[in-house]
């Protein structure tokens, strides 16, 4: 018997989707155009409040055969981008970044004075 063709398109691209919390309406994966699912666009959209209360970010590539939770990567990039642009992290992203971004080694803890 010949193998059954896949119903998944063979597009070899990394896709990132944001799970958003809409309060009493619940959590949902908002509809997103295929051209707006790359890492850079997702980070930019988060900073521009396209997503109002992100819960998690999932990345996958069906042709590459991988999927994983990339929330930590996104949280670190949000923190890095805000620092590079010398701007505060938007309030609506605070909880997301605090949940996923562990403290970076870029900040040197204070040494005791002797």
User: What is the arithmetic mean of pLDDT over 90-96?
Assistant: 94
> Is residue 32 exposed (0-12), middle (13-18) or buried (19+ Cβ within 10 Å)?
middle
What phi and psi, each to the nearest 5 degrees, are found at residue 47?
-65, -25
Boundaries of every domain in the chain:
15-100
For 1-34, write each residue's pLDDT tens digit: 666 555 455 578 899 999 999 999 999 999 988 8
Comparing CA positions, the residue from 14, 17, 30 lying closest to residue 62 is 14
- Full-model pTM: 0.78
């Amino acid at each position: 018997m010949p193998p059954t063709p896949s119903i998944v398109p063979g597009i070899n691209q990394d896709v990132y989707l944001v799970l958003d919390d809409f309060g009493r309406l619940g959590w949902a994966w908002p509809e997103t155009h295929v051209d707006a699912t790359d890492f850079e666009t997702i980070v930019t959209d988060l900073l521009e409040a396209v997503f109002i209360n992100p819960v998690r970010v999932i990345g996958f590539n069906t042709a590459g055969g991988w999927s994983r939770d990339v929330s930590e990567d996104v949280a670190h990039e949000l923190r890095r981008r805000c620092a590079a642009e010398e701007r505060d992290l938007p309030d609506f992203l605070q909880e997301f970044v605090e949940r996923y971004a562990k403290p970076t080694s870029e900040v040197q803890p204070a040494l005791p004075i002797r």
